[in-house]
Structure 1
């Protein structure tokens, strides 16, 4: 039996081309989808948007190829090749970004571990071994009591931190630095270990901030977190004490307003005197105070004056004795002081 040869279908070459191009686009599409998933993990927003645009372009091109006429298929071949090349670049960039992100995350994990180690060592030195306590100096039992109260508040804040939070070590270091500053404002600055401890904390906090930002954290958001924690810490140091003294000598102080270093039993005596007498007596006592560390006094004015001097608040000179109607001038400038009413 003799069989006649069937002629080839005129559409066979176009069908083969369609399958070939669709197969190429499908492979590239899968690679782009994997790259987009990697970019979502790495957090590179610009590359992610670029990858999503390329994916949409590939999907549109696939739909066009599926329904294109034989003539259109031939003209679309160059477009498919260009899309494949562009998509390949996106995939390479995504892989590079993913590798960089992995390296930054590994670096951040190492820095966080270092912060944890330093926080634990500082915790032992400050609150268990209390290496700075021997250098502390207070003007009165009340000032020491206020210091210990702030110390207890910081300890409570540290205890409230969740160790599972990757930033808890940073927060602990911030609280510990505040404790070191408070101690240095009360005599511990004479101990070189205090400044060394503070320098170590500062250095580690800078390292962690840099590592967090390289790993994708928003610097403004990070700084807001730090500022919020610092704002929640108890007030201390020269600024707080100077504010209390300024309130006293400007007339803003009341008997209900505590002044560090002034015994509670002495408050009524201060409140009972006139505002003018309070200002003049406090200024006179501050003028007479000498030495680096203020002493402890039972007299309320002397106590306040000692604290004023320790806080760095200067007072105008006042004569030793004032006789009604006399012409009184300051010892330093010769400026006339009007008689008190």
Structure 2
């Protein structure tokens, strides 16, 4: 399952969020095309306090317009229904905040930088859709803030967005807060390893005025109890799930209810639906438990290839190396042993 984590330790704005997703390879040309009749969009590479980032820009005529007119304009765009719903919800969040700030009914509210509101709400929706994140989990850090506009403060309060004061500048905007209120699953720190994208803001500060987005996969532990499969079937299941791309699999002997002896099969994976289906197909189990993995500590390691000589032939073996030692890849040793009819130990000796 895909997962997105947003690090808002330098604040958040619409252009920062969009720039970060474009840096994660969301299709900018598609965004530009869909909004071509509304604004002239561009994206450029910038550096903020030493950090390379994408800067998303939009050129348009500044003017105030009613929320209801802007909402109607989004409905008329040639975009998917999912993108329309999200963009309209973001726009409505902004309108509610402005309504409260100015003491007006929502259908009477005029939004300042009206076109910018449409651009940011639609662009973020298209970017999330392109990255296939519309229905995935999105986590976010506590949001750094400084000076708060009344609309920003209202959105933060109504949506219980956790904040921390780190600046005397307006580093979090109403649009940024409105977007977070509509896309974030939960505000919490997540240790996620994956592709990183950086979106730049307008300001030049002592710390990088960038928002970092990390796109990765959520790892889960699948487990099921089996009491009516032979060891041969269980061995085959283990081999199949590893061939299909599971991160790890292990089987534990267990005593089940009524004294029945069975096995607990556990699979570490980022594709729970796929491997749950395999377990059900191969073992006949009626259910698979999905357990979240909150942390996983990994040693930094690298793969190095070495060449050994057997007779007048050369074979390559991959070696996993870390600061704690090294270990040859089992499958390489086994393949070479079978090919040359040598024992496993004989091939290992060649590495010394």
Tell me which interval the TM-score lies in, with the shorter structure as reference length. Answer: under 0.3
Relative contact order higher in (CA < 8 Å, ≥ 6 apart): 2
Normalization by structure 1: what TM-score? 0.23
Higher share of residues assigned helix: 1
Larger radius of gyration: 1
